[in-house]
Amino acid sequence: MADSTILQPEGLEQRYERYKEKIKHFTIMNDIFMRNVLKETACTEYILQVIMNKKELKVIDQTLQKDYKNLQGRSAILDCVAKDAENNFFNVEIQGENDGASPKRARYHCGLLDMNLLNPGNPFDSLPETYVIFITKNDALGYNQPISHIQRRIKETEDIFQDGQHILYVNSKKQDDTELGRLMHDLHCKEADKMYSNVLSARVQQLKETTEGVNQMCQELEEIYNEGEQSGFLRGEQSGELKKARETTLALLEMGMSAEQIAKAVNLSIETVQNWIAETNS
């Protein structure tokens, strides 16, 4: 039976108090919190510097949560796409579940980047180097490696096929005493003062411990709440955007909504919502 306190009408002030409690437990591995942390470009830059093992890497532009269109097939919302000073492009994705980090999904993200980075009339050789980076909660590939670099090779010679396309899987379970391991620790850390990185710590402290930052996070959670309340919000089975519907489901769950309320809000079956919740709890 659903908790009757959840089903009762709730005012904005009550929701904000609940949001503030949830914000305390957010980590950068949480989609909502991650995109707010990465609004500070220095945070994106630091993460890429560590993963790419390139301290001189400079991010000169980035887009968060952009819908990359494919007119002939499925589009996708990419968490973060950044451009460095050398015209390399990076798609950084935080993936909590293994099915969200399948090799074919990585392949599709590579294709979406290519389709959106080459203008009509430009030669194919003008395509930039692209890096699709999945930071995964679990060891998605099963190799027990902290980081896996994937690149095409010519089978007969073992030479690298120079198409400029790169895929990286970063296993956030590996939190050893290396720079990459310390970054993975920070991505899972709830408290700013326990982080290794000054850059990430300062941003997390701002979002969790200052009035301005907490209000910013509360406003974002309220927007998600309002979207979930709208009739017919996110018809996932029709649009194919089940990933976004799942993210919204888990966000609404964190806000205290019952499975029945969430199923109605995202217009999906109660069985689908319950399965997602069960997978997350396990």
Q: Where are the domains of the chain?
A: 4-24+211-281, 27-189
Tell me, what's the pLDDT at 106? 95
The pLDDT of residue 173 is above 80: yes
The pLDDT of residue 84 is above 50: yes
**Interval 151-169: pLDDT, tens:** 999 999 999 999 999 999 9
Closest CA to 48 of 123, 131, 167, 128: 131
The pLDDT of residue 1 is above 50: no
- β-partners of residue 150 are 167
Tokens of 84: 């460095």
| Mean pLDDT value across residues 169-198 | 97
| Mean pLDDT value across residues 122-146 | 96
Q: Cα 121 from chain centroid?
A: 33
Tell me, what's the pLDDT at 10? 59
Q: Which residues contact 109 (CB under 8 A, 6 or more apart)?
A: 76, 78, 91, 93, 132
pLDDT band at 228; cut points 50, 70, 90: low
Closest CA to 170 of 187, 147, 151: 147
Contact 245, 263 (CB under 8 A): no
The pLDDT of residue 226 is above 80: no
Contact 169, 141 (CB under 8 A): yes
